[in-house]
Amino acid sequence: MRASDQIREVEIQRGYLDSNPASVLYRCGKTIVLCTASIEESVPPWMVGQGKGWVTAEYNMLPGSTSPRKRRDRGGKIDGRTTEIQRLIGRSLRSIVDLNALGERMITVDCDVLQADGGTRTASITGGFIALADAVAQVLPESQVGNGGPLRDSVAAISVGLIDHEIKLDLDYALDSAADVDMNVIMTGKGRFVELQGTGEEATFDDEQLQEMLRLAKLGIKQLTERQHSALNT
C-alpha cells in the first residue's frame, strides 16, 4: 500500500504513434491515457485576423476503459461529465500558453482514456502538456518551455482526498470512491495555481484540512513536473 504522500508510479512514452509525433502514452498507476496534439495552420473563425493562436482539448473514455463497458457518445451528443472535463483540460493548457507567440495556429489536444482507475482528468492534463510541447516543437523548433516561446511554463494536475480522517495523495478509483472529500489541483511548474476543484461527499472540511490537501498536492505536482521535464529532455 502506498504512503499517504506517495504518488502512483508514472510512465511516459513519447512518440507512441507513428502517425503523430506529438503523441504520448501516459500511465499513472493503472490509469492509461493516450494524449495526441494536432496542429492546424488556421484558427476558429472568431479569431481570424487577431494574430494569435488557440489551444483546445477533447476528452473521451473508450468503451473498454471501464467495467462495465462505457457506451460511446453518438450523434454528436456528449455527456455532461465529458464536456466538463475537456473544458477543464483546455483551460489548464491555455493557462501556460502565450497565444500571440503561437501565431494563427490551432492545436487540439485529444485525450483518450484507454484504462480508467481514477484520476483520468488529472492524467489527461499532465500527459496532454507533454503532447502539446511536442506539437509546439514541430512548428517552432527553437522554442523551449519557459524561455520565450509559446509555452511560458509547464502544467500538471493531481488529486488529493480525505479518507477516514486521513489525507491521501493521488487517488485511484478505490480511494476516490471511499473519499469523504476529494479535490483536483492544477498547478504550473512554477507553483502557481490554475484551478482547484474540491467537493465534500456528505462531509465537510476545515481550513487546516484544506491546507494539508494543498500541501500534499504541491508535493505531488512537483514530482510530476520533474517527470514531465525529464521526459521532454530525452
- Roughly what angle, to the nearest 10 degrees, separates helices 80-94 and 120-139? 50
Instruction: Say if CB 89 and CB 83 are below 8 A apart.
Output: no
- Residue 203, CA atoms < 13 Å, CB-side half-sphere: 17
Q: Give me the residues of the chain with pLDDT under 70, please.
A: 75-76
Burial of 178 (0-12, 13-18, 19+ CB in 10 A): middle
Q: How far is CA 169 from the centre of its chain?
A: 16
pTM of the model: 0.95
In the chain, the amino acid numbered 106 is M
In the chain, the amino acid numbered 29 is G
- For the stretch 50-103, pLDDT in tens is 989 999 999 998 888 888 888 877 766 778 889 999 999 999 999 999 999 999
Q: Residue with C-alpha cell 489527461?
A: 124
**Ordered domains of the chain (ranges, CATH):** 10-232 (3.30.230.70)
